[in-house]
Chains A and B, each alone.
Chain A
């Protein structure tokens, strides 16, 4: 059986499974649609959160980022997991007790203000839409590589599948599909990693293999990797960073942003009790950690494998001849994600760091520049091929990458559609709408959101690469502080909350736009986006944490200068703090 057929079987089989689950879990009421009827077991919910959270970014890109940056990019590992500690202790149990369907609804009720609710709706939609573009684009890439179809056609197939199970099943369909998708993606991620870890270190657990001995050289794996890459002019993999302030703030931004992203928060509304919301956070992190503890191992091992592929006889010998390059390099060259240019016309592939510090050695060896450019996003997808694993593992990776992209896209689309149907249509324009009418509105807004996301995924705006900073910056600077103060302070009032959200948001956006261009329009940036220009060395990606602090400070100052919230609001805050009598999530 050829590789194409195998990929088709794995991807087609997994899609059939998702649609089967969706038919079984059809939503009958708004409660089913928004919160899966509120009857999801904490472990089931944990797995669903895991799939919801782990997107194309976690599955496809993260290991590549760590492989390229080494220690410095540990920020992603800590940032995207540490947020769950904040979520489980500061938000989830109380929002579950509050017992409504959406995040803007809590903000609107707690700050007794339709305006606050609308600010939250806008933040939610901007953060979620920017995020969903990346997922759709990721699904398109996976389709075009593994099913050899045009990426636009691939995207449309993905959209139809999401449409079938998300529109029909709502949160109920999404929850159970996400559990299946979690299983597919974790198996797909782990199996190649285990094989590679055994090949390199003899240890079957990749997370332990990372700190074990490299069998071939007898050195610790990381020492061997440091040696190989410094021989070629790169920085040590484990090297410490100089700009610790920026590293701290970037990690903090990712953590606060994670805790403030609405599509994750609403998952906690689906469990029956407050105690279950607490357990859910723990289980979610267990399921996420299975991938996150493996990712750094995948990163270092793939980097070492790549280097030894190019330099089979060691870094001091000549690199591999272009004619003899492995099959996987040829296949990825077709997609343009690996590019080779024989700068010194010796027919060999020189892969090294083109830095001034390495110039003398490069001259001595007759090298005229780095000749191989490898897009870091292909690392996980190409990993099984780099390690010569059998064809079914490659089919599995294809299904896993698609599961990661689709599950996150569905979660985001649900958050967007519930904000539109519940907060905008029912909350603002037509409060008298019936349950049935609202369910129809929810399905229509979901369908529209899918069409828009598919279009943007096929024609990504030029700023697609920047949007992650935007999504996390917005969630960190606007939503998280408003939610947290709503629970932990009885004093913060409507004026304080709105002023806080807006100032946090404007401050964060302004700092990002100064370096990245206003509304990301190229050429409109006031300062070049280089570390020398950053205030105190703080990158635009790290500014969300400062934006959150601005939000807190402004909200407290304005609230203290104005009147106390009404007594019934103070009682509401009091009631979310105590689990007794939560009932299931409703809209009344």
Chain B
């Protein structure tokens, strides 16, 4: 777990999501405990919402619910796809 002692930042989450999911781009907001991530990745194509969100959660493993207290996720497969 990287930087497990320090508070999480939106920048850190963005970097780790983009590094962890091939081709992903992420927009992350948050206050150090509660975060919201809008993640766009071609890797999401064909996956259920649950599977898409799991890919994002998997980047952080047990940190979700702990160091990252809450992580809200919206996923898209491409930039042009609108959120419902």
Do A and B come together as binding partners? Answer: no
